[in-house]
Amino acid sequence: MLQPKRTKFRREQKNRMKGNSGRGNQLAFGSFGLKTLENCWLTAQQIEAARQAMSRRMNREGQVWIRIFPVKPFTAKPLSTRMGKGKGDPQGFVAPVTPGRILFEAEGVTLATAKEAMRLAAQKLPVATKFVVRRDYVEE
Is residue 14, in this structure, part of any structural domain at all? Answer: no
Average pLDDT of the chain, as a whole number: 94
Is residue 20, in this structure, part of any structural domain at all? Answer: no
Is residue 115, in this structure, part of any structural domain at all? Answer: yes
Is residue 30, in this structure, part of any structural domain at all? Answer: no
What is the CATH number for 116? 3.90.1170.10
Is residue 111, in this structure, part of any structural domain at all? Answer: yes
Domain count, the chain: 1
CA–CA gap between residue 99 and residue 95 (Å, rounded)? 13
Is residue 84, in this structure, part of any structural domain at all? Answer: no
Is residue 9, in this structure, part of any structural domain at all? Answer: no
This prediction has a pTM of 0.92
If pLDDT is split at 50, 70 and 90, which confidence band does 60 have?
confident
What pLDDT does 69 receive?
96
Is residue 16, in this structure, part of any structural domain at all? Answer: no
Domain that holds residue 110: 39-75+91-133
Beta-sheet strand order (sheet of 40-43): 40-43, 89-97, 72-76
